[in-house]
Amino acid sequence: MEEEKDRMIERIHLVGNSSILSGSNLGKEIDSCPVVRINTAPTSGHEQDVGGRTDARVICGGLQMEAQTGWLSSISGETLILYPTPEDVRKNAQRYTSEDNSLRYLRSGALEAWAKFLDKSPLEESPTSGLYGAWFLSQVAEQVHLYGFGFYESSESHYYWKDVKSDHEGHEPHIEKLILKNMSNVLIKMKTPNEIKNSGSKIT
């Protein structure tokens, strides 16, 4: 166990897509260690708030589908962490991913560990890419710091880079928030919209 711990990354920052990042001025802090982003989240023009570094991305099942091959092939020089999908969907993502990217996905024992994690959780709906990313990274890092996780609490835009309202149909963000808070090596670094209303501060 000590040998395994020695191989773990000290800290990783997982950056969500919430509009609570807008005006946060957290870019330098976010970029201070390896950064993982979620799906298609951009950095250009938003560096002051979200940073400019991207070492990896968590890719949801929808972005692994045939219709997204153009986007997949446009990503270069990043590690792509694939959300668990049926084998044919994963192979499609592999087929269209640029050769200078590195793919990571769950196999056998790790896939069973993810399934056990979900079985023990109170979730009844599908987990988000954010929850999967946090769990995945918690297996390889001593600390996972989360930025830009709004848990759908804001009535404003769901994304920091575009004005799009989004509901949480098919997900349970309030339960995921509790799950993440109870993970020993995961820390939510930004207050959620409901917490901001009470404190006036975005940093915990």
In this prediction, residue 5 carries a pLDDT of: 47
Q: In whole angstroms, how far apart are CA 173 and each of 93, 99, 140, 179? A: 27, 35, 24, 10
Residues in the chain, total: 204
Q: What is the pLDDT along the chain (204 residues), one digit of tens a residue?
A: 333 445 789 999 999 999 999 999 999 999 999 999 999 999 999 999 999 999 999 999 999 988 888 888 888 899 999 999 999 999 989 888 888 889 999 998 999 999 999 999 999 999 999 999 999 999 999 999 999 999 988 766 678 998 877 777 789 999 999 999 999 999 999 877 666 666 655 555
Domain boundaries, the chain: 2-199
Q: What is the phi/psi pair of residue 33, to 5°?
A: -155, 175
> Could you tell me the fold of the domain covering 2-199?
sialyltransferase cstii, chain A (3.90.1480)
Nearest to 20 by CA among 156, 132, 168: 156
Alpha helices in the chain (DSSP H): 2-6, 27-30, 47-50, 69-74, 87-96, 108-120, 129-138, 173-181, 193-199
**What does the alpha-carbon distance between residue 28 and residue 110 come to, in Å, rounded to a whole number?**
33
Q: What is the pTM of this model?
A: 0.90
In this prediction, residue 152 carries a pLDDT of: 86
**What does the alpha-carbon distance between residue 170 and residue 15 come to, in Å, rounded to a whole number?**
21
Helices first, then strands: H and E counts in the chain = 9, 7
In this prediction, residue 50 carries a pLDDT of: 97
Burial degree of 192 (CB within 10 A; 0-12, 13-18, 19+)? buried
Alpha helices in 40-107 (DSSP H): 47-50, 69-74, 87-96
